[in-house]
Chain A
Amino acid sequence: MQATSPVDPRVLDAMIPYYLHQFGNPHSRTHLYGWESDEAVEKAREQVAALIGADAKEIIFTSGATESNNIALKGVMHFYREKKKHAITTQTEHKCVLDSCRHLQQEGFEVTYLPVKKDGLIDLGELKAAIRPDTAIVSVMTVNNEIGVVQPVEEIGKLCREHKVFFHTDGAQAAGKIPINVNDMKIDLMSLSGHKIYGPKGVGALYLRRRPRVRVEAQMSGGGQERGIRSGTVATPLAVGMGAACDIALKEMAYDEEHIKALQKRLYDGLTAKLQAVVVNGSMEHRYAGNLNLSFACVEGESLLMGLKEVAVSSGSACTSASLEPSYVLRALGVDEDMAHTSIRFGIGRFTTVEEIDRAIELTVTQVEKLREMSPLWEMVKDGVDLKSIQWTQH
């Protein structure tokens, strides 16, 4: 359950009335339809805020985490452009963060892309050294969407607060899955996504701290909805869905975590019991249990995927699965190109069952064994040949 998740039936129940008879525009001030709709949006806003320990006034509804990331990065840099020219992020961020940064570079801003250690975490010393007097924002995602590692957000928040730099974190894969408190973690901006936590697709939120106030330049011009930061009619059913999803996630987080951790252990143990040379990409210790990114030596990822059609896994992440290059996240971890090519991301969620895990193990083991049987590289490895010592020639 990484690329997306099914809508929880309870969330759908909450949304349906606002598609049918309670269809008012929440910004219509003069009649009951509007008032009802507005009330529903405000309740959803409180539910989203409660999930991350924020105040409802600090939540802005957007079309998704991509939009929230765009507003956070471009919005902050543009607003403070007179004095601040520099932003810091990491090499393993989601594409929408990296692309926004590239776009900012085109506009003349400077961006530092911090490398990560072999376990996928950033080095706090390097972050501190990268902060300059003209740094406006540091953006580090809480949980990585490809490898599932959890960054040390509390320490990063503390460092940023000391240096008076805004701290933005992409919390799309974290909110609702691990406990988050924006005040304890000293987070100033945070992006959230509806469809990662069993909510509807097409909605997300941006947390924007009020004290001390973070200002952004709006990316959508219009009637000034959402405190002037995101113009456009708020989609009541989607907002209600997101609110309900956050509410459920808050209540069931501990239960979900236990369920998912057990399944992750079952999957990992099941695979490693039957297969050798299976490597976990990213820290096993600082990890969100619902993500398991594995490399199977001497097996090509795409071929493995073709054999695993029944299981919805990906090689790389959904947004990069169309490109032929191996994942830039794995490259940042220092994973060899051939191991990067063989990586598979397994996602486990609230609705995953034991049967599904066992079936995934069965299929994966069968496919990997079959492919290794055919692989001359695997034969060489079994014979103890160091693959790196081979001189490949062309005929």
Chain B
Amino acid sequence: MAKKTRKRWIEVTFVTKEGDRKTIRVPVGMSMLEAAHENDIELEGACEGSLACSTCHVIVKDEKFYRMLKEPSDEENDMLDLAFGLTETSRLGCQVIAKPELNGMELALPAATRNFAVDGHVPKPH
């Protein structure tokens, strides 16, 4: 008897500002921020996912995936307004939750965050 196996994880590719690509597996239900931290991807999360900063800003490269995401709340939009390098398909990584439809999504990391560090210092994840 063939058993229908539901995918419990999806594949997401992070693209850094230099163009390096890293594809990781994200369990369904996990946020992109958490997934990035678990895989040592350089994504700051100053407020630890409590919608109080803009440092986990990611850019959804394909509009098709952007449209599949739930619309941002006013609070998320307010934080996005403060993000460095905002685009039309920007979201906060802590608010993008993995679901099966998002398999194959590519997320670009912006060139900088609002935390000022022109000397190249990168704050460690909390």
A274 on interface, CB distance cutoff 8 Å: no
Residue pair B82, A210 in contact (C-beta under 8 Å): no
Partner of B82, one of A80, A82, A83, A227: A227
Residue pair B88, A228 in contact (C-beta under 8 Å): no
Residue pair A210, B86 in contact (C-beta under 8 Å): no
Residue pair B88, A210 in contact (C-beta under 8 Å): no
Complex interface residues of chain B between 13 and 54 (CB less than 8 A to chain A):
none
How far apart are the CA atoms of A83 and B82 in the complex, in Å?
22
How far apart are the CA atoms of A227 and B87 in the complex, in Å?
16
Residue pair A227, B81 in contact (C-beta under 8 Å): yes
Inter-chain pairs besides A80-B88, A83-B88, A227-B82, 16 sampled, C-beta below 8 Å: A57-B78, A79-B86, A79-B88, A82-B87, A82-B88, A210-B74, A210-B77, A211-B74, A213-B77, A215-B81, A215-B86, A224-B82, A224-B114, A228-B82, A228-B83, A229-B81
B→A interface (CB under 8 Å): 74, 77-78, 81-83, 86-88, 114
How far apart are the CA atoms of A155 and B82 in the complex, in Å?
33
Closest chain B CB from A231 CB (angstroms): 11
Residue pair A227, B88 in contact (C-beta under 8 Å): no
What are 7 of the A-B contact pairs (CB < 8 Å)?
Answer: A57-B78, A79-B88, A80-B88, A82-B88, A215-B81, A227-B78, A228-B82
Closest chain A CB from B111 CB (angstroms): 14
How far apart are the CA atoms of A213 and B77 in the complex, in Å?
8
How far apart are the CA atoms of A227 and B78 in the complex, in Å?
8
> What 1/0 flags go to A64-87 for Cβ under 8 Å of B?
000000000000000110110000
> What 1/0 flags go to A206-222 for Cβ under 8 Å of B?
00001101010000000
Q: In the complex, what residue of chain B is closest to A223 when comparing beta carbons? A: B116
| 6 tightest Cβ-Cβ pairs between the two chains A and B | A228-B82, A227-B81, A228-B81, A213-B77, A224-B82, A224-B114
Complex interface residues of chain A between 217 and 275 (CB less than 8 A to chain B):
224, 227-229
Q: In the complex, what residue of chain B is closest to A208 when comparing beta carbons? A: B81
> What 1/0 flags go to A41-82 for Cβ under 8 Å of B?
000000000000000010000000000000000000001101
User: Between A and B, how many residue pairs show CB distances below 8 Å?
Assistant: 23
Complex interface residues of chain A between 71 and 125 (CB less than 8 A to chain B):
79-80, 82-83
How far apart are the CA atoms of A210 and B83 in the complex, in Å?
16
Q: In the complex, what residue of chain B is closest to A217 when comparing beta carbons? A: B86
How far apart are the CA atoms of A229 and B114 in the complex, in Å?
13
A residues less than 8 Å from B78 (CB atoms): 57, 227
How far apart are the CA atoms of A17 and B82 in the complex, in Å?
31
Closest chain A CB from B35 CB (angstroms): 27
A residues less than 8 Å from B81 (CB atoms): 215, 227-229
Complex interface residues of chain A between 111 and 145 (CB less than 8 A to chain B):
none
Most chain B beta-carbon neighbours within 10 Å: one of A213, A227, A228: A228
How far apart are the CA atoms of A89 and B74 in the complex, in Å?
30
B residues less than 8 Å from A229 (CB atoms): 81
B residues less than 8 Å from A213 (CB atoms): 77
B residues less than 8 Å from A82 (CB atoms): 87-88
Closest chain A CB from B95 CB (angstroms): 15
B residues less than 8 Å from A227 (CB atoms): 78, 81-82
Closest chain A CB from B59 CB (angstroms): 12
Most chain A beta-carbon neighbours within 10 Å: one of B74, B81, B82, B86: B81
Q: In the complex, what residue of chain B is closest to A57 when comparing beta carbons? A: B78
Closest chain A CB from B107 CB (angstroms): 18
Q: In the complex, what residue of chain A is closest to B89 when comparing beta carbons? A: A82
